[in-house]
Structure 1
Amino acid sequence: MAVAAARVRAAVAYTVREAALAFRRNGLMSLAAVTTILVTLLLVGCGLILSANLHHLARVVEGQVGVVAYLREGLTPPERDRLVAAARRLPGVRAVTFVGRDVALRRLQATLGDRVALRDVVQTNPLPDSLEIAVTEGRQVRPVAEAVRRLRGVEEVAFGGEVVDRLLAVTGVVRAVGWGLALLLGLVALVIIMNTVRLTILARRQEIEIMQLVGAGGWYVRSPFLMEGAVEGALAILLAAGVLVPAYTVLVERARGALPFLPLLGPADLLPGLLATIATGGFVVGMSGSLLALRRFLQT
């Protein structure tokens, strides 16, 4: 047991030592690899921050959006009451409020204030009676609106679904562009890491051949190169986290002070998932570059 533990410690020490030497030996290439992975992770992080907040904004807006049904002119009170009852029975409806045309006109006048006197502009009230319908949750807005539109006595239905659709469309574009650029930069990082590992293999080719002749195992030979890629990925992850975490924390604090009405995800809600994503991405890129280089340039 003690011998096996000593061998493991020796193998780990060898791996770390050789990876550190390779990192120093190929300083410029290693720096280029770390920088490229860092830019990739920052791009992914910024894209995720933007798309997550846009998606959150869309859901908040969707939850605040209600449905307004404008009623056909000439409905009798019993017909109106039946219509209100029918609307209340629809799935997803939380509350239905009847708003008479006179009430609607007074609301409009209150909104306009003293700038315009509606009684001087219009002789008769042009506004229809309406129903203001609150839904149980945001995703019910569109189904409820479609169901209300089919009720007898409803002339027209209005809701904010178009705003939500635009926000979600922008979110999709931002996410697609961000991941596309990240994929491109990730491929560039893979090529740079492959070339860095290739230079290390060429510099140590004679030493590698001697280790193979004396029976060194394949993974014993490969491990320093894998460690080199992992270290490059880890450095990029730490640098990306060091930029994104304080930057987003400051951004949220200042935005909440200047724009308190803007619903932003808090650091505690967003950053854990964001850091997990960039950590995974950094290690995948770093290790993949090393594995591809070993498969192509090192025969064991």
Structure 2
Amino acid sequence: MNYTLRTALQGLWHDKWLNLLCTLTIATSLFLVSLASVAYINIKTISAKLPDRFSITVFLNEDLEEERIKAIISQVQKHKSVKKLKYISREQGLADLRLSLGDADYVLEGIEGNPLPPSLEIGVTRRAVSGDGVGRLVRD
């Protein structure tokens, strides 16, 4: 046992540069594999959460009557791909725009009145988050 340990330590001491190079190679390989794993997990997590944030905004004509708007809302809510539906009036749309612009709301200073039409914000189910699903919702 004593001879084996002494021979191993002598081998490590004589080939120190080779041992250092092997250690650095293994460490670099482990680092790259772990980096790729973390990137994969992050991308998978983000892509799983993305469909929950997907929504469609439908802009309505300004001259639509209140009854027609209610009929449209009722028809859209009945669709199986719709998870949530929010009606946004012209005034609410402008208030939301000002809020989202924050300090850059000076952009709206030269505009007279409210240029935004009323709209519907439609949250869709996970199954509908595709080109075919959205197309089917629009057609219906």
TM-score range, shorter chain: 0.5 to 0.7
> Where do 5+ consecutive residues of structure 2 fail to align?
none
Aligned residue in 1 for 2:139: 150
The whole-number CA distance in structure 1 between the counterparts of 2:99 and 2:20 is 64
**Among residues 90, 93, 118, which one is paired with 1:104 in the alignment?**
93
**Among residues 108, 111, 117, which one is paired with 1:122 in the alignment?**
111
Change over 3 Å in CA distance of 1:96–1:36 after alignment to 2: same
Q: Is the 8 A contact 2:81 2:137 kept in 1?
A: no
Aligned residue in 1 for 2:72: 83
Deviations 1:124-162 (A, max 9, x none): 42212211122344x6433553334335xxxxxxxxxxx
Deviations 1:260-283 (A, max 9, x none): xxxxxxxxxxxxxxxxxxxxxxxx
Q: CA deviation at 1:96?
A: 0.7
Deviations 1:76-124 (A, max 9, x none): 3343223222322233321111112222123223444685394x53234
What is the aligned-residue identity percentage?
Answer: 24
Q: Is the 8 A contact 1:109 1:117 kept in 2?
A: no
* Amino acid in structure 2 at the alignment position of 1:87: V
Q: Is the 8 A contact 1:92 1:140 kept in 2?
A: yes
Aligned residue in 1 for 2:43: 54
> Where do 5+ consecutive residues of structure 1 fail to align?
1-16, 152-300
Count, aligned residues: 129
The whole-number CA distance in structure 1 between the counterparts of 2:112 and 2:42 is 47
If each structure's helix is expressed as a fraction of its own residues, which one has the higher value?
1
Q: 1:93-242 residue pairs with structure 2 within 5 A?
A: 93-112=82-101, 115-116=105-106, 118=108, 121-137=110-126, 140-142=128-130, 144-151=133-140
TM-score (norm. length: structure 2):
0.64
Change over 3 Å in CA distance of 1:142–1:100 after alignment to 2: farther
Q: Is the 8 A contact 2:55 2:123 kept in 1?
A: yes
Aligned residue in 2 for 1:236: none
1:116 counterpart SS class: helix
Deviations 1:55-84 (A, max 9, x none): 323333442232222224433334322322
Deviations 1:28-73 (A, max 9, x none): 6666555434322221111111232133233334422322222244
Q: Is the 8 A contact 1:67 1:141 kept in 2?
A: no
